[in-house]
Amino acid sequence: MKKVYDRQKAVEYAIKYGLFPNTEYVYYQGNDCTNFISQCLRAGGAKNHYHPTHPWWYENGKSSICWAVANSLYWYIRVMSTENKFGIKAKTISIKGDYLYNPSISHLLEIGDIIQYRNNNNKIQHSAIISGFEIRKGIKEPLICQHTFEAINITWRKNFKETIFHHIIGIN
């Protein structure tokens, strides 16, 4: 039986712990964004996954690289989406910068979806979760929660080379 991703619980967690980290988890000072997003995914129902090449887990104060590192979480989601077995799966769309955002992307997105950002060195450097939306110029624009500059309900637009949207379509 496939479990449904509880977007509302993921976002409630993001808002509750967006400014003040959950002391039940390790906090990576200066680099906690993906650890925080993994916690949100866990709050939405995702379970530890001991995949042989792309494990995603947290237990007893320790985590896998895919849990805590932006680029590794990206590859975990991509591999799980391709394998279409156990794990977090998403429909992924990427755009250069933020100026190509359009209604077809906005209609795909929901609260609880993940956004990642690639820098000018082609490294995925940051992860955030969509916590809400606002209408700007007639288009539904995501608001995000994030760590590594703790914030809740801020604009998704950032100065990065590429923006990657993961519309979560399945967990576990």
DSSP states of 27-47: --TT--HHHHHHHHHHHTT--
Please give the pLDDT value at position 2. 60
Give me the domain span that covers residue 121. Answer: 7-170
Q: What is the mean pLDDT of each run of 10 residues along the chain (172 residues)?
A: 86 98 96 98 97 96 98 97 93 90 94 97 97 95 97 96 97 91
Query: What CATH code is carried by the domain that includes residue 98?
Result: 3.90.70
Residue 28 lies in a domain: yes
> Is position 1 within any domain?
no
73: amino acid identity, one letter = L
The vertex-90 CA angle with 89 and 95, nearest 5°, equals 150
The answer as to whether 27 is a domain residue is yes
What's 2's DSSP letter?
Answer: P
What is the pLDDT at residue 98? 78
2 in a domain, yes or no?
no
pLDDT at 79: 96
* Amino acid at site 135: I
- For residue 114, what pLDDT is reported? 98
Side chain identity, residue 83: E
55: in domain: yes
Q: What is the pTM of this model?
A: 0.97
Total number of domains constituting the chain = 1
> What is the per-residue pLDDT for 110?
98
Q: How many whole angstroms separate alpha carbon 5 and alpha carbon 124?
A: 24
